[in-house]
Every structure is written in C-alpha cells, then in structure tokens.
A and B are shown apart, each in its own frame.
Chain A
Amino acid sequence: MDTLAPLLQVQGLKVHFTSKEGTVKAIDGLSFEVYPEEVLGIVGESGCGKSVTALSILNVLSRNARIVDGTILFRRGAEMIDIARLDPDGEAMRAIQGKEIAMIFQEPMTAFSPLHTIGDQIGEMIELHLLGTPSAGGTPPRAAPPPKPGLLNRPAVRRWVDDQTSAILGKVGMPNPKEILHAYPHNLSGGMRQRAMIAMGLSCNPRILIADEPTTALDVTLQAQVLRLMKQMQADYHMAIIFITHDLGVIAEMADRVVVMYLGRVAETAAVDDLFHQPRHPYTQALIRSVPKTSGPLEKLIPIEGTVPSPMDMPPGCKFHTRCPQAIPGRCDVREPELIPVAAGHAVACWLYADGGAA
C-alpha cells in the first residue's frame, strides 16, 4: 500500500473551538494519510477529536470551530486540493461533499430528516451530484445514462433518480427497495435505517467514505451484519473508508491500518495486526489490556488510572503522561513527542522510543 500515493493527507492539522470558558484545542497537530481502497480505523476515547477530524475533512465544522493550522490535501488525479483552504459553502467544496467524500453517522434517526422520504433524501444527493455528469461513477457502471436536466424533462429525471435510488437500496440489501423509496425514516427499524444511511453514503460512488461510529447504536447481531455489508461495499465500490470508533473490537474486525488518537493527536499508527500484537505506545498497550474480551484467557482487567484530562486544562508535554505508568519525569511532562517510526508503517509518539531504541 505504501507504493501508492495517498488519497488524503492530513498534515499538522489544528482545530480550535472558542467558547465562553476559553479556547479548546480539539485537534492539536494531527497528521495521517488515507490510501486508496483501504480501511483506516481511527480509534480513541471521547474528547480525543476523532469526530472533529471527520467534520474537518468534510469542512462542515460548527461556527465556533476554526482550522487554525495545517492542511487537508485531497488528491484528484494529479491535483492536490487543500480542503482546509476551501470556502465551506463554496462550489468547490460542495463538489467534494457527498460526491467524492461522503459520510455516514452514528444515529440514522437524527441524521435523516424526519419530514422527507428515504427516496427523496437519497435522490436529492443523486440529482445534485450525478445529473448532467455523463460519466458519473466509474464502478459499478450505472444502468442508464442520466437524462438532461431541465424543467421539461422533469418526469424522465425523476424516473432516472428513482431508479438509481432503488438500485442502491437494493445493493445494501433492502428487501423491497421500490417500496422503501416512499418510506419515512420512522417506518424503518434501526438496522434498516443504518442500511439506508449507508446507501446514501454510497449513492454517488465516493472515493472516501467516512463512517463515524456507524454501528454504535446497534445491537451486536445487527452490528455484525452492517459491518459485513460495509466491507462488501468497500470491495465492490473500490473506495477508502475512514472508520471512526471507540470500540477496539470493531477496529480489529474492520481496519487495515489504525490511528490511535489521544487528546487531538496521533499516539500511534500501525497496520492492524501490529497494533494489536505489538502495540508500542503505553496508551495503546493500556487500552488493549483494559478491554474485556469474549474469548481467550480470562485475565484480570487492568484499567488505565485517572481520567482523560479536561480539554480546557491540557497537561504540558505528552498529554498522556498524567496517566502513563512509564512516564519519564523531566521529559514526558515537558516536551511533546513527535511521531517516531519504529517499524515499517508503524510510528509512535512517545519519548520511550526517541533514541532509536525500543523501550
């Protein structure tokens, strides 16, 4: 995968929120890459900035948030577009949102509008992005070429959009897609709604799909089904997925590579097998030790002591040093470590690895 050029490159990203109590550095120097057709897992606890990362990539941050530094480079052909510099409401950004980078959310009940049918909501995306672009979608090929937009051609456009919508609903395993077109979100069960959400994400054949905790609201049996569907869609549509979750079990199942985030920065990044079997960062090691498992030896859980510091009151130096059993006084609490490569595709931001030696 390293030989390929990255599809998305986030470099030194800093996102600050201003509030009455002060400035919150939600993302504080974040860098990672997304390669074509891979599943990049981003894992972290609440407040680590994983959702803000997703919103930054789509340039849909709330008004009190600002990208203060860094770049988000998105590759289109030979061109690299810096999303961080685009006008959030501009034409260029809108051509990317939903079309080239799409997102699915945790709670489909709130992400869908309750007032419009599923068919209208997915159809709107298709109409906005695909109509009038003759070569819309590379793979899988669209059944029929889109008709010319225009008032006179309205019925034909409508038929075409409905056909496309029901095709994509069928693709995600909806039992009777033609009927679902006319259903409202509240008519569907939780699992069906999440499928509709995935269909909406896929509808414009994006190159990157961002999934923010897409199965956290679902029961385990449904979760297994939705995860499997996402894997299959990824293979069929040749897209990259940024899979954001707090659940290490889901990451182990879904991701090719993993980024572990702690308080707005990357703590460690590695291929999924290396991360779980040779974790280097004390935080990653501690996370894995603290998670209950459904199989294997029943060892005592070893919790991480203390709590995640408040974003208003960030510790100096390495932000994990307040909870780290291996913190080196005078070093970890003074300067923040940069990402240090420790093996092929494996980097860790920890002073223990600073002098080229393994700890």
Chain B
Amino acid sequence: MSEVQTSVPPLLEVVNLRKTFARTRGLLRRVHGLVQAVDGISFQIFQGETLALVGESGCGKTTAGRCIIRAIEPTAGEVFFYQDGMKQDLAALDGPALRQARQHIRMVFQDPFASLNPRMTLLEIIGEPLLINRRVRPGAELQERVAALLKLVHLDPRYMNRYPHAFSGGQRQRIAIARALALDPSLVIADEPVSALDVSVQAQILNLLKELQQEKDLTYLFVAHNLAVVRYQSDRIAVMYLGKIIELTTRDQLFGRPLHPYTELLLLSSPNPDPRSKKKPPDLIGEIPDPARRPSGCAFHPRCRYAQPVCQNQEPPLINGAPEAAPAHWVACHLWDRLSLENGQL
C-alpha cells in the first residue's frame, strides 16, 4: 500500500515500520518473549491534513508515533520525510542531521502535568527549543518570541515568568502546544492530547489545534483512543490492532461504512451521549490477547463474530476496498466484501 493518493508527494511516508520489544526476566534479563509492538505498518501523511492513529491500549499507536520522531528506535522500516523538495529517511539519520530534521517534527504529549518541567518558567519551557537551535538570542528577542507564542495559544504573555503549577490542565496543554510550535514545525505528533483533560476543557484544546492547523498550515499525526474525538479532528483515520493497521481511510468512509469487524466493534462500543441512541455493543467474545502471543492468521479472529476458518490460518493482506473514483479504503479482512457491518449511526 504505497500509493494512497497519487501525484502529490506526501509530507511523511512510513514504510514497513517495525518495533520489537524484548520481554526479559530475572537478574540476567534473559529474553523470554518478543512483543511486536509495531508490526510492519505503512502509511502516508499529506501536507495540511490530520491523520489519526486509533486503537485500544497496547495496539502500538503511541510506539508508532515515537518511532517516527526516533524517541524510540525502530527495529526496521523507513520513515521518509519530504522537506523543501528533499527526501530523507528519518530512520537512517543520526547526529546533527537527525537533530536538524527533528526541528520540523514536534510532539505534544498526553499528560501536561508530567510533560512540563515544574522547575522551569514558561519562558524557559517554551524558549528552550529556540535557544538550543539558535533561532533567537536570549533576552529581549527571546521574550518577544515567547510572548508571540503564548498569544498564539491564547495565553496572556504576562504569565511568562510563572511556573507550570500555577496553571490548570487545559492551560498547561496550551503551554505544551506553544513549545511544540516554537520552531515552526511542519508536522506535529499529538499523542492523546486531550485525554487527560476535563470534558469542558477538551473542546477548547481540540478547537485550538484545528485553528492552529489552518493558521500555520500544520500537519498532524493524531494518536488517540477515543473515536468520537478522532471523528472531529481527522481527515483520515488508521485503525490499529496488535501492531498492525487493519483499516485506513477517510473519516467519512470509516464512520459511514466501516469495512473491518474490529472497527465495527469499536464504533458500537463507544458510548454516545444520547439516551435515545439505539446502538448496542455486540456480545464480546474472547479476551484481548497478550501482544507477545499474537493469534495466528488475522490477529482479531478470536474476538471476531464473523470469523471463518480461513481467518485462523491466513493473515489477510491490506487491500483497497473502495469503489473506483472514491478515496482509497484500505482494509485487512478476508471477508470485507461479504459483510455488511453496522456503523452505529442510529
């Protein structure tokens, strides 16, 4: 699945990315199991869009995001980043070249209580990437830039000399966003940016991310578990299950006509804030498997209500199930064209 949309080159192209963690035991840390956290995923992200990686805990969505920026070293695969007509494989870079590339890709983390150093003022937190990369001189110039960044995320620049503890969760996430945008990146990897926030504040941050995207022509890789949030934020969505992408398509196609039984299960299980909603989660069969003991064939088959013998024996390839002219709709299921799945839009 290398060509999702033809002609325009993507901003980021991930090819067969893998990350294997070893499970060790005892004093000698003997390896007794391997976890394929990310098991050969490929996707592209285009300039100005938001691609969401969704899935439940342990599906590898966070690891995938971190492998792209090399916060975690990928085991195999390529991560091509296109910048100023150049193509670089981030997975093969190191030293100054990696540091250079990382200025274009920044991260926003889940927990703004953990991701901001409590001993640094906002000026230091937001200014640090600017100083390290010699974008500005310390002093007035730095203060001016940080003030502009604070204004960008709708915080009062006068707060610049305060410490993070003086701020609420939502405000801290704004600070984290300001830090991520300090170097004018082209790609922002947002890993569950609102799941630690109160409901009334979530919408503020989600709207802010959208607003900044339009203003700065940003591209987002949005990692999340909450399908409702993803529905509001993304242009395209990749659903992951045990390290693999099992469905990847536009938001409207995914929510309108899901093709993978796991996506159907997620849609039907997500609670909807309407007591009149008639969608019913199907009976859950099977347990969520241990990632170290990946089921044979299609990894979802022990929990799939449609599973056939073939699903146990053969791993389904990721193929395009969209009709001619429609945007690509990638799905990895043997039965995709024989099922009519519910979308939960009742």
Binding site for B on A (CB under 8 A): 45-46, 189, 191-192, 219-225, 227-228, 246-253, 272-273, 276-277, 286-288, 290-296, 298, 300-305, 307-308
The reply to whether B200 and A272 contact each other, CB–CB distance below 8 Å, is no
The residues of B that contact A308 with a CB separation of less than 8 Å are 168, 198, 200
Given contacts A290-B200, A301-B206, A303-B200, contact A295 B288 (CB under 8 A): no
The reply to whether B273 and A301 contact each other, CB–CB distance below 8 Å, is no
24 contacts between A and B (CB under 8 A): A189-B287, A219-B56, A219-B57, A219-B225, A219-B288, A220-B269, A222-B288, A248-B199, A249-B270, A251-B273, A252-B271, A253-B271, A277-B275, A277-B276, A286-B200, A287-B199, A293-B272, A294-B267, A295-B277, A298-B232, A300-B207, A304-B201, A304-B203, A307-B168
Other A-B pairs, 8, CB within 8 Å; known A224-B269, A287-B199:
A220-B266, A220-B271, A221-B284, A249-B228, A249-B271, A276-B274, A292-B231, A293-B272
The residues of B that contact A276 with a CB separation of less than 8 Å are 273-276
A322 to chain B, nearest CB (A): 12
CB under 8 Å from chain A, chain B span 256-271: 265-271
Interface size of B in residues (CB-CB distance below 8 Å): 44
Shortest Cβ-Cβ A-B pairs, 9 listed = A249-B271, A303-B203, A224-B281, A219-B56, A224-B269, A304-B200, A292-B228, A248-B273, A301-B203
The residues of B that contact A223 with a CB separation of less than 8 Å are 269, 271
Given contacts A252-B273, A294-B228, contact A225 B56 (CB under 8 A): no
Task: Kindly state the separation between the CA atoms of A295 and B268 in the bound complex, as whole angstroms.
Answer: 10
Task: Kindly state the separation between the CA atoms of A292 and B42 in the bound complex, as whole angstroms.
Answer: 28
The reply to whether A295 and B345 contact each other, CB–CB distance below 8 Å, is yes
Closest to A309 in B: B168
Say if the beta carbon of B74 comes within 8 Å of chain A.
no
Closest to B232 in A: A292
The reply to whether A292 and B266 contact each other, CB–CB distance below 8 Å, is no
Taking a contact as CB atoms closer than 8 A, the residue among A192, A250, A295, A298 that contacts B279 in the complex is A295
Task: Kindly state the separation between the CA atoms of A300 and B201 in the bound complex, as whole angstroms.
Answer: 15
Taking a contact as CB atoms closer than 8 A, the residue among A273, A292, A302 that contacts B275 in the complex is A273
The reply to whether A252 and B275 contact each other, CB–CB distance below 8 Å, is yes
Closest to B57 in A: A219
Task: Kindly state the separation between the CA atoms of A249 and B225 in the bound complex, as whole angstroms.
Answer: 15
The reply to whether B274 and A292 contact each other, CB–CB distance below 8 Å, is no
Binding site for A on B (CB under 8 A): 56-57, 168, 170-171, 198-204, 206-207, 225-229, 231-232, 255, 265-277, 279, 281, 284, 287-288, 343-346
A50 to chain B, nearest CB (A): 12
Task: Kindly state the separation between the CA atoms of A288 and B284 in the bound complex, as whole angstroms.
Answer: 29
Task: Kindly state the separation between the CA atoms of A253 and B268 in the bound complex, as whole angstroms.
Answer: 12
B194 to chain A, nearest CB (A): 9
Task: Kindly state the separation between the CA atoms of A294 and B56 in the bound complex, as whole angstroms.
Answer: 16
| Most chain A beta-carbon neighbours within 10 Å: one of B231, B270, B345 | B270
Taking a contact as CB atoms closer than 8 A, the residue among A249, A295, A303 that contacts B207 in the complex is A303
B220 to chain A, nearest CB (A): 16
Closest to B290 in A: A189
The reply to whether A307 and B265 contact each other, CB–CB distance below 8 Å, is no
The reply to whether A302 and B199 contact each other, CB–CB distance below 8 Å, is no
The reply to whether B272 and A303 contact each other, CB–CB distance below 8 Å, is no
The residues of B that contact A272 with a CB separation of less than 8 Å are 275
Closest to B205 in A: A303
Task: Kindly state the separation between the CA atoms of A60 and B200 in the bound complex, as whole angstroms.
Answer: 29
The reply to whether B56 and A221 contact each other, CB–CB distance below 8 Å, is yes
Given contacts A293-B273, A295-B345, contact A307 B171 (CB under 8 A): yes
Taking a contact as CB atoms closer than 8 A, the residue among A246, A247, A292 that contacts B229 in the complex is A292
B316 to chain A, nearest CB (A): 20
Task: Kindly state the separation between the CA atoms of A291 and B231 in the bound complex, as whole angstroms.
Answer: 12
Closest to B228 in A: A292
The residues of B that contact A45 with a CB separation of less than 8 Å are 198-200
Task: Kindly state the separation between the CA atoms of A288 and B199 in the bound complex, as whole angstroms.
Answer: 10
Closest to B268 in A: A224
Task: Kindly state the separation between the CA atoms of A223 and B201 in the bound complex, as whole angstroms.
Answer: 23
The residues of B that contact A251 with a CB separation of less than 8 Å are 273
Taking a contact as CB atoms closer than 8 A, the residue among A192, A227, A252 that contacts B277 in the complex is A252
Closest to A295 in B: B345
The reply to whether B203 and A302 contact each other, CB–CB distance below 8 Å, is yes
Taking a contact as CB atoms closer than 8 A, the residue among B203, B266, B343, B345 that contacts A290 in the complex is B203
The reply to whether A303 and B227 contact each other, CB–CB distance below 8 Å, is no
Task: Kindly state the separation between the CA atoms of A246 and B200 in the bound complex, as whole angstroms.
Answer: 10
Task: Kindly state the separation between the CA atoms of A295 and B342 in the bound complex, as whole angstroms.
Answer: 12
The reply to whether A298 and B200 contact each other, CB–CB distance below 8 Å, is no
The reply to whether A228 and B281 contact each other, CB–CB distance below 8 Å, is yes
Closest to A45 in B: B198
Taking a contact as CB atoms closer than 8 A, the residue among A189, A246, A295 that contacts B199 in the complex is A246
The residues of A that contact B270 with a CB separation of less than 8 Å are 220, 249, 294
The reply to whether B227 and A294 contact each other, CB–CB distance below 8 Å, is yes
The reply to whether B273 and A295 contact each other, CB–CB distance below 8 Å, is no
A264 to chain B, nearest CB (A): 16
Task: Kindly state the separation between the CA atoms of A251 and B207 in the bound complex, as whole angstroms.
Answer: 24
